[in-house]
Structures are given as structure tokens and as C-alpha cells.
Chains A and B, each alone.
Chain A
Amino acid sequence: MGIHSIVMVKQVPDTANISGQVMKEDGTVNRAKLPAIFNHEDRVALEFALSLKDKYGGRVTVITMGPPRASDVLRECLFMGADDAVLISDRKFAGADTLATSYVLSEAIKKIGKYDFVFAGRQAIDGDTAQVGPQTAEKLNIPQITYAEEILDVTESSVRIKRKIDGGYEILESTLPVLITVIKDAAFPRPFKAKRIMAYKNAKTLIELEKLTEGNSLLYIDQLKDEYISKKLYIQTLTMDDLKLDEERCGVHGSPTKVHRIESVVLAGGSHEMIEPSKAGIAYLIDKLMEDHILG
């Protein structure tokens, strides 16, 4: 039947490999010192889309909003099997919170055209908000199913999904198109494929092609772009103007979330308190835990 899936992916700092120089003295994060990686749950989301394609045929488009170097994750998506990749990049997108991000992504998805599924990871390991998926669905005005574990079956117009809930799972049915966010353990992402690595390692975004022409007066950007398109090595690159976006809704301007203060919290075991193993002791412990917002 041919399914078109759009997968939203994100390049994130590798928070599992944090070295000593990552936190600056003022408590902010020194991004340059953090290696950038493919957000794992997004890789699982891509696996969902590719498995659907394996089963029913169709096409998989990946999109990311990020700085120019986010093209790395798009190439990795191509290595896994994605058909098309789109980079949405503009200086004016900097400082976007989830509201601004979901605005840009939803407009880009509308521009890409007809689709059956939008997939995303449940959340990215840098912000941990799990909001971009749901907000994008709202702006696209389509149903959403979050915390998906498994796609049970798909018809021309509907899908049944097994979804993780506290202490178990539930099965939901939705019409298409639908936005689905997936959890980490839902699938093991397929590896990069050797032949695709060799074929797509030179795929480039417009920004990267412009870099190539900068140092070489004999290269013209339009020619170069055409050449890359004909070799299927062009990664579509969209800016704010390309998407005709409202600048007030992008980047810092469009982001009501303001970071009040960043604090470097050093956890250290210091004082401790002995609590008697008695009824009174337990009541005291519960009070203490509620006071610290651990319970309640």
C-alpha cells in the first residue's frame, strides 16, 4: 500500500560521556566539549518507520531542526535506510524552546506534503521534556499516541498501537495520519548498512555545499547543487524564509520558556540522620520525604 513516514530526529550532546570540562565556571554547559550524537529514541523512531517500509513499502523522510552540523545525524539516517533527509536550519531558530521548535517542525512537515505517520522519539536526552512530539501533533491537528512500544497492525486508514503505561500497557487505535512517539526499548535500531555508508557518506546540505564554494571561485553553488541532486547526494536544506515562517514565533522570540538560572549541583554525601525502626520513626520518615517532595 505504500506508507510515507516522516521521522523527526535530533542531534544531542552525549550526556553519557561527560568530561570534566563540560561545565563552565558559571554553571552553563560548554557544548563544544560535548560530543554530539544521534538521540537514541529518535533512532528507535526511525527503526519503526523503516520496519513499516520493509513490510508495506513506501518512503521514509527524516527531518531535523538544528545547527549546520546536525547534518551528521541526517547522514546516519541515510546509512540506516531513510530515503530523504531534510535539514531545517537558520540562525533565527537559535534559542528555541519546545513551542517554537514544534511550530517550525510542523510547518516543515506541512511543506513536505502528504504523509501517513510522523514518528519521533519520546524525548531527547538533552532537554528531557517529551513535549515536541505532542506539540507538533497539536499544530498539525492530527491524533497522537505517545510512549509507543509496538505497531500491531496497519490498514489503509488506521493503526493499532501498543502503548506503555504505568504497570502495564494499553492498546489504542487511531486514524491516519497520526503522530507517534516511541520509547527506548521498543525496538533495537538497525545498524548502518555498509553499502549505504559508502554511497551516502558524501551527501551534503546546502550549507555544506556553500562552504565548498567559498574556497573555490570556480565552483558555482547552483551548479554544485544540481550535481548533488542528480547524484542523489543532496540533503534538502530549509531556512525560515523557505518555510515562510512568522519570525515572532521562531527562536528566542517565539519561546516563552525562559531559563531563570543554571546551577551546578554537586551531589555529596554529608550529613545523615538515624531514624528508629518504630511506628513513630516511619511516620517521621514519611513526613521528611514529603517535605523534600520525594513523596506526594
Chain B
Amino acid sequence: MPNYFLDNPDILYHFDRLDLSQSGQSWKEVVELTEENFSQAGKFGYAPVNYEDAMENYRKVLEVVGDIAANYIAPRASDIDEEGALFKDGKVTYAKGTREALDMLSKAELMGMILPREYGGLNFPTTIYMMAVEMISRAEASLMNLFGLQDIGKTIAQFADDKQKEEFLPGFSTGKYTGAMALTEPDAGSDLQAVKLSAYQDEKGNWFLRGVKRFITNGNGQVLLVLARTEPGTKDARGLSMFACYGDETIKVRRIEHKLGIHGSPTCELQFNDTPAQLIGARRFGLLKYVIYLMNRARVGIGAQSLGIAQQAYEEALKYAKAREQFGKPIYNLPVISNMLIDMRVALEANRSLFYSTCVWLDKKEKYDELVDKLKAMKKPFLEENEKLKEASKIVTLLTPMTKYLLSESANKISYDALQIHGGTGYMKEFSVERLTRDARITNIYEGTSQMQVVAAAGGVINNVLGDYFDACEKKEYKGSLIKLLDSLKEIREMFNECLKYIKDKKDTNLQDIASKDLVEMYAYIYIGFLLLNEANTSTGQTGGDQRKVFTARRYILDALAKARKNSESIKNELYSDVLHADTILI
């Protein structure tokens, strides 16, 4: 029986390496903080008693996810795509396969993986949850949009009061509730500050929502988190608050969209007609604090979805290349094809290294956030913890959009190439690579377009927040052929520094905006390059070491060097100066 966890050596590789410090973060610490030093063991029979026990729990549960994904969900993917979510008489119905998959995941107690045990959850770190999201996405990309909505419960767990948690969270844990995040409106997409949907109070202080939301994934869900304007007359983020409400009869689903891909996930237009709602957290912090929290997590989730789609596209391409014979041999044996496959495989593994590094930093940031709050409440010193929190925050703020940008673009490229390897048959519905290509296309659009991700990552890049990590990496000892690769990374770093200086000196905001993409990419090459170099370094030397990781590092870094030269040339040769003449060019 196939298993998306046990059959994927690269996920296992990352799972087994979680406790090896990759970029200064300590996984063991994350687990200890998540488990509050294993103090819940007496209270819940399934809580771990120590670190090893926790890791065994994670592994065993991920095995079940891998089993359900490969053997139950994946065989339904094609039908779900064909049938899609249905809208009839004002009601949304999931495709049969979607319903069955959700039922199976609920029975396996996997719908509250990151929620506290008090409310029926498993209390897993986000990193482990994301491994599950990656596998589910690989099986059926649009199911991620439901399974991956556990972040909505998580946001409630984080910011709601105890009574609200008691009310909403157990339903999320059992799978009785699925959620939706209702943020986007017809005139507020990338610019969420412009949200208009209004929240008002009656004389007793009860809140009601009135207005329209658009492009709401799973807008038909049972519990919705809604961003609404509570301060009439305001125009910016400071007038927005966050609400939770039930998807009852006061919310009218006006229509669902007909989409290129992810057919199983209904995208709804919603009309709120005086919908009773509860304020979550503090007024006026809706966008500034809670939605940012939710969005950042959702962006990491899209990273996992991108990775899952890319993995499956690669698998399909590899299988096809080995089976398809032309010119008297499998096309796999044609260097042009195997070269494409290597590019795909290397991109996939580079993505996964970046991804799980981002996840661990996110876990660390959130756990320190909670710890500092706790220490403050107990009136204990928290300076040291606060320093760690600040560092993790800066890094997560950079890595999250960088990861979302690179992984979603890469999923498109990998599925594009996978279809190309299939040739004409890949264009037909008979092979799943056509579906994967369509499903991938949303990943670099929703939860913030690639262009928005670059803007979000630019600050951290300009402030060189990973500088210390790079310095530390440069001082390490590398073996054999890896020394030359280290030199290449140093060269990229120099190019990056020169470009950054060039742009700063220019003091041209237009150039800064356009060149951000080149700078963010160069910075990512350095970071991912070091991650892969260190993986290769720890993989060589041991008997039967992982030679693959050495090849992976080599191809990634040499390719990155060539690309970085292109990025650098574009900036320094003033490639973009003609944007001032856009009106002349764009006829």
C-alpha cells in the first residue's frame, strides 16, 4: 500500500532532521514549549511524556495521514475535479469525494491537529501539521482548502475569550465545523484596508454584520471569521475588527465561482444580512493583529499546498518518462528529459528545505510569543525570551512571504514541465498532470499575489535579517567539492550587497519597487543555498551518506549563481529605466 509519508524519502529526511539545528532554531525547544514541558501527560492519556514520545506520536500520526492521503483521497481526486462543488437553490454541496475525504479525516481525528487538547485538538506544532497539509495537497489540492482551514480554529484559540473558545473549538476539532476567512470584498483584495462590510451594535451591545464579501473559500462553512468595519467614517486598517459568526440563514451565498482549478473547494460570494456575530479580541485590531496572524499562517499553508502539487507533478512526470518509449527506449533515458527531471527534483528539494525551515521558525516565534505573554502575566523577567522572540519575528516576517512566493511560482514551473514531459497526452484529461497544472495556478495568486509577497519580503531583505546566519555558515568547515560551492554562495552574497548598495544610492523609489523582486530572489538563493550546502555537508562522510543531497546542492547553487548574475545585471544595467516610458511602449 502506498503511503505519502513513508514513501517520500525527502519528507522523512526533514522529519528526522528536525532536531538538528539548521539555522539557529532549536526544534527540541519548540516541542518542549508546545507541550509545556510535558505537563499534560497526566491529564490526557494521549499527551506525550517526553520529547522522544512526542516525536513518536508525530511520526505515527503522519503515517496515518500518509495512508489516508495515498489510498483514500488520491483515488478520488479526478472525480472531485470533474464533479466540483455544486451550487443549487442557494445551497453549496461538496463533491462526493470531498465529503468522503472530510469524513475520513474527521474519523481519524485529524481536523484539530493544532488546537489545544482542552478543546479536543492534538496540540501539534505547526511544522508537523504542515507536513500533513503537504501530503493532503499532494493527494487532492482543493481538499487542502478545507483541511488547511484549521488555522481559523487556531486563530480563535489564540485570540478569543474562554467562552468563545468553548463555543467554537470543539466543533472544529471533531470536523463538525469547517471554517472560512471572510476578508476579501469586491473593492478590497490585495488592499484589505479598504474593507467596507459594516459591523454595528444594538442597544444591548450585540454585534451584527451587514455587507458583501467575495471570493470566499468555503464561504458556506459553519463558522466564519469576518473582517468588518466597526468604526464608521474610518477609511484605514484602524477601523477594522474581527468577528466570528455562524454560517446561518442570515448569510446568503449569492453564487460560487467557476474556476480554472481547485474545483473541490467552493469559492463563494456572500451577503451578510444583519448576521449576529461575536467580536474576537480587541476592537480595531482586526486587520492589524488577527488577520495578519491568520494570513501569515495561511500563506505558509499555501506553501505546503504548492509543495504537495509539485511533488505529485514530479512523480507523474518521472513515472511517465520511464514508461513512455520513443526512439526505441524510454524517454527517461534521453538526456534532455532526465535533465528536466533533475531540475524539477532539485527545485522540489530546495523548496522543501526552505519550507520546513520557515515552519520551524514560525513555531518558534509563536511559542516565544506565548511564553513572553505568560511571563509578563506572572510578573517574571522576560528580557531574554523577548530577544529571542524579536529575532524569530523578524525572520518569520521575511521567510513567510519569501517561501510563499518561491514555492508557488515553483509549483507552477514544475507542473508546467511535468505536463511538457507528457507531450500531447499531458494536455488531455486522461492524465492527472493536466489537473495539477490547473490546480497549481492559484497558488501564486491567492493569500496575496507573488507581487505582494515580494513587497512583504523586501523589508527583511534590505535589513539583512539573515546576515548572522550567513556569516556563521561561511565560517563553517565544508568538505571536498562543497568548498567550491561555498565560494559560489559568497560570490552571490557579494553581488547582492553591491546591488543593494547601488539601489540605496540611487534613491529612486520606482527602481526600488521594481528591483525588489531581483533582490528578494538573490537573498533567497543565498539562504536556500546555505540550507542545501549544510544538508550536503552532514550527508557526506558517513557510510552510505546521502550522495543525492550533494548533487542537489551542486545543481541548486551553480544554477543560483547564474541566475543571480542575471538579477544583478538587470539592476546594474538599468534594465528597468524604461518603465518611465511605459506609456510610449505600451500601445
Same assembly: yes
Binds B, one of A137-145, A168-176, A190-198: A190-198
Is B110 on the interface with A (CB-CB < 8 A)? yes
Query: Counting chain B CB atoms within 10 Å of each CB, which of A192, A194, A196, A201 scores highest?
Result: A194
- B residues near A198, Cβ cutoff 8 Å: 46-48, 57, 60-61, 122
A201 touches B107 (CB 8 A): no
Is B45 on the interface with A (CB-CB < 8 A)? yes
Is A199 on the interface with B (CB-CB < 8 A)? yes
Chain B residue at minimal CB-CB distance from A16: B1
Q: From residue A51, how far is it (CB to closest CB) to chain B in Å?
A: 12
- A residues near B236, Cβ cutoff 8 Å: none
A192 touches B46 (CB 8 A): no
Q: Which A189-224 residues sit within 8 Å CB-CB of chain B? A: 190-199, 201
A194 touches B45 (CB 8 A): no
- B residues near A199, Cβ cutoff 8 Å: 45-46
A16-B107 Cα distance, complex, nearest whole Å: 27
Q: Which B67-86 residues sit within 8 Å CB-CB of chain A? A: 67-68, 72
CB-defined interface of B45-57 with A at 8 Å, one 1/0 digit per residue?
1111000000011
Chain A residue at minimal CB-CB distance from B107: A190
A212-B48 Cα distance, complex, nearest whole Å: 20
A199-B45, A199-B46 known; A194+B56 contact, CB < 8 A: no
Tell me which of A16, A194, A232 contacts B64 (CB under 8 A). Answer: A194
Q: From residue B71, how far is it (CB to closest CB) to chain A in Å?
A: 10
- B residues near A193, Cβ cutoff 8 Å: 107-109
A273-B126 Cα distance, complex, nearest whole Å: 65
- B residues near A201, Cβ cutoff 8 Å: 56-57, 60
For A, the interface residue count at a CB cutoff of 8 angstroms equals: 13
A195-B108 Cα distance, complex, nearest whole Å: 9
A190-B64 Cα distance, complex, nearest whole Å: 12
Chain A residue at minimal CB-CB distance from B56: A201
Q: From residue A54, how far is it (CB to closest CB) to chain B in Å?
A: 11
A199-B113 Cα distance, complex, nearest whole Å: 15
B64 touches A191 (CB 8 A): yes
Is B295 on the interface with A (CB-CB < 8 A)? no
A196-B108 Cα distance, complex, nearest whole Å: 9
A197 touches B61 (CB 8 A): yes
Chain A residue at minimal CB-CB distance from B122: A194
Is B192 on the interface with A (CB-CB < 8 A)? no
A196-B113 Cα distance, complex, nearest whole Å: 14
- B residues near A192, Cβ cutoff 8 Å: 64, 108
Query: Counting chain A CB atoms within 10 Å of each CB, which of B1, B57, B108 scores highest?
Result: B108
Q: From residue B49, how far is it (CB to closest CB) to chain A in Å?
A: 10
A201-B55 Cα distance, complex, nearest whole Å: 12
A197-B109 Cα distance, complex, nearest whole Å: 10
- B residues near A16, Cβ cutoff 8 Å: 1
Is B104 on the interface with A (CB-CB < 8 A)? yes
Tell me which of B48, B56, B68, B122 contacts A195 (CB under 8 A). Answer: B122
CB-defined interface of A1-31 with B at 8 Å, one 1/0 digit per residue?
0000000000000001000000000000000
Q: Which B108-133 residues sit within 8 Å CB-CB of chain A? A: 108-110, 113, 122
A194 touches B110 (CB 8 A): yes
A195-B60 Cα distance, complex, nearest whole Å: 11
A199-B68 Cα distance, complex, nearest whole Å: 20
A194 touches B109 (CB 8 A): yes
A199-B45, A199-B46, A201-B56 known; A194+B61 contact, CB < 8 A: yes
Tell me which of B1, B45, B108 contacts A191 (CB under 8 A). Answer: B108
Q: From residue B249, how far is it (CB to closest CB) to chain A in Å?
A: 31
Q: From residue A200, how far is it (CB to closest CB) to chain B in Å?
A: 9
Chain A residue at minimal CB-CB distance from B117: A195
Q: From residue B395, how far is it (CB to closest CB) to chain A in Å?
A: 30
Tell me which of B64, B68, B104 contacts A197 (CB under 8 A). Answer: B64
- B residues near A196, Cβ cutoff 8 Å: 46, 109
- B residues near A197, Cβ cutoff 8 Å: 46, 57, 60-61, 64
Query: Counting chain B CB atoms within 10 Å of each CB, which of A193, A196, A232 scores highest?
Result: A193
A286-B387 Cα distance, complex, nearest whole Å: 87
Q: From residue A230, how far is it (CB to closest CB) to chain B in Å?
A: 12
A199-B57 Cα distance, complex, nearest whole Å: 9
Q: From residue B227, how far is it (CB to closest CB) to chain A in Å?
A: 32
Q: Which A80-122 residues sit within 8 Å CB-CB of chain B? A: none
Chain B residue at minimal CB-CB distance from A79: B64
A232-B46 Cα distance, complex, nearest whole Å: 12
Chain A residue at minimal CB-CB distance from B58: A198
Query: Counting chain B CB atoms within 10 Å of each CB, which of A193, A197, A198, A199 scores highest?
Result: A198
A195 touches B107 (CB 8 A): no
A195-B46 Cα distance, complex, nearest whole Å: 6
A197-B107 Cα distance, complex, nearest whole Å: 13
- A residues near B60, Cβ cutoff 8 Å: 197-198, 201
Query: Counting chain A CB atoms within 10 Å of each CB, which of B46, B57, B113 scores highest?
Result: B46
Chain A residue at minimal CB-CB distance from B48: A198
Q: From residue B281, how far is it (CB to closest CB) to chain A in Å?
A: 29
B107 touches A191 (CB 8 A): yes
Q: From residue B45, how far is it (CB to closest CB) to chain A in Å?
A: 4
- A residues near B113, Cβ cutoff 8 Å: 194
- B residues near A195, Cβ cutoff 8 Å: 45-46, 109, 122
A197-B45 Cα distance, complex, nearest whole Å: 11
Chain B residue at minimal CB-CB distance from A192: B64
Q: From residue B313, how far is it (CB to closest CB) to chain A in Å?
A: 26
Q: From residue B544, how far is it (CB to closest CB) to chain A in Å?
A: 21
- A residues near B57, Cβ cutoff 8 Å: 197-198, 201
Q: Which B398-457 residues sit within 8 Å CB-CB of chain A? A: none
Subset of 26 A-B contacts with CB under 8 Å: A191-B64, A191-B68, A191-B72, A191-B104, A192-B64, A192-B108, A193-B107, A193-B109, A194-B61, A194-B64, A194-B113, A194-B122, A195-B45, A196-B109, A197-B46, A197-B60, A197-B64, A198-B47, A198-B48, A198-B57, A198-B60, A198-B61, A198-B122, A199-B45, A201-B56, A232-B45
Interface residues of B, Cβ cutoff 8 Å to A: 1, 45-48, 56-57, 60-61, 64, 67-68, 72, 104, 107-110, 113, 122
List 14 additional contacts besides A192-B64, A193-B109, A197-B46; criterion CB under 8 Å. A190-B107, A190-B108, A191-B64, A191-B104, A193-B107, A194-B46, A194-B61, A195-B109, A197-B57, A197-B61, A198-B48, A198-B60, A198-B61, A232-B45
Which A-B residue pairs are the 8 nearest by beta carbons?
A198-B46, A191-B108, A194-B109, A199-B46, A199-B45, A195-B46, A198-B57, A193-B109
